[in-house]
């Protein structure tokens, strides 16, 4: 049975373009031109994922989000938000948004994000744990642009009992922390795009990141690079050995 998507956008051209594209990819797509219409449709049947444009008249995307978010920040269904990245951090800090796509939305990028969210929602209960048999694994976000190193670290963290979501850049790590509310964050000192000190500075301002355990690793033990990292808040690992990083994560995430 195809997954059901609810596409919420007041622009009829966007609804037609993205709706046709997603239906061509095998999804069942229902469209709403307003937050009010989306709420009515959801009262009749909940979709597997809602794709939401924020800039709509009337209730708007923000009003819709407030109506479908409980006091703990959990949404009734997974929400994929279409927005400018600069708008994202402050508003979504207290909401468990499943993902973000920058406008104007590239159809292929949107499809990839839809597939990622639906895969994770099918594998994970809403929250930060994944049950495998009698084993409970905590979710960790890993930011690593090198695919070989990312696979090695994912395997090491998995063996240590963690479920791992891999992103490439520091900015994507911030988004993942806001959207997924993980048990911890692992990233290199020189994370691509936004280095670790920049990530930590943003997280200090967000409810989702203020108490988040963080492990930062670096292949080089350069004192100057570490001077911006507060050891009271962050576990530091010199080197990229997966076992060492996994052990640091186990120690930090209690």
What is the predicted pLDDT for the residue at 65?
86
What is the predicted pLDDT for the residue at 6?
97
Domains and CATH numbers, the chain: 4-123 (3.40.50.2300), 129-252 (3.40.50.2300)
What is the predicted pLDDT for the residue at 95?
65
What is the predicted pLDDT for the residue at 215?
95
Q: Which residues of 25-40 are buried (b: 16+ CB within 10 A; e: fewer)?
A: bebebbbbbbbbbbbe
What is the predicted pLDDT for the residue at 80?
92
Give me the residues paired with residue 139 across strands. 163
Q: pTM to 2 decimals? A: 0.51
What is the predicted pLDDT for the residue at 70?
73
Residue pair 172/160 in contact (Cβ under 8 Å)? The answer is no
CA distance 206 to 208: 5
Both tokens assigned to 128: 């930060």
What is the predicted pLDDT for the residue at 31?
97
For helices 242-252 and 147-159, the axis angle rounded to 10 degrees is 50
CA distance 175 to 154: 19
Strands, sheet with 28-32, edge to edge from the N-terminal-most edge strand:
28-32, 4-8, 49-53, 79-83, 99-102
Both tokens assigned to 122: 């099918």
Averages of pLDDT over runs of 10 residues in the chain (254 residues) are: 92 93 94 94 91 86 84 80 64 70 85 86 46 53 92 90 89 86 91 91 82 90 65 83 92 81
């Amino acid at each position: 049975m195809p997954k059901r998507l609810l596409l919420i956008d007041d622009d009829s051209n966007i609804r037609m373009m993205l709706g046709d594209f997603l239906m061509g990819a095998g999804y069942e797509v229902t469209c709403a031109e307003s937050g009010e219409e989306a709420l009515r449709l959801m009262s009749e049947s909940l979709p597997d994922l809602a794709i939401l444009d924020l800039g709509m008249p009337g209730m708007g995307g923000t009003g819709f989000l407030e109506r479908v978010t409980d006091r703990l920040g959990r949404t009734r269904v997974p929400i994929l938000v279409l927005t400018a990245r600069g708008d994202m951090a402050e508003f979504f800090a207290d909401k468990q948004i499943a993902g973000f796509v920058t406008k104007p939305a590239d159809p292929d990028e949107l499809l990839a994000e839809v597939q990622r969210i639906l895969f994770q929602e099918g594998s994970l209960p809403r929250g930060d744990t994944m049950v495998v048999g009698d084993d409970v694994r905590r979710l960790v976000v890993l930011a690593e642009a090198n695919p070989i190193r990312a696979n090695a670290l994912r395997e090491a963290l998995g063996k240590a009992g963690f479920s791992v979501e891999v992103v490439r850049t520091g900015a994507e790590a911030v988004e993942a922390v806001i959207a997924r509310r993980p048990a911890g964050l692992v990233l290199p000192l020189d994370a691509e795009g936004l280095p670790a000190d920049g990530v930590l500075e943003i997280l200090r301002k967000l409810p989702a990141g203020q108490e988040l355990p963080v492990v930062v690793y670096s292949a080089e033990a350069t004192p100057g690079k570490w001077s911006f990292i507060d050891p009271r808040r962050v576990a530091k690992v010199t080197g990229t050995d997966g076992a060492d990083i996994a052990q640091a994560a186990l120690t930090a995430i209690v």
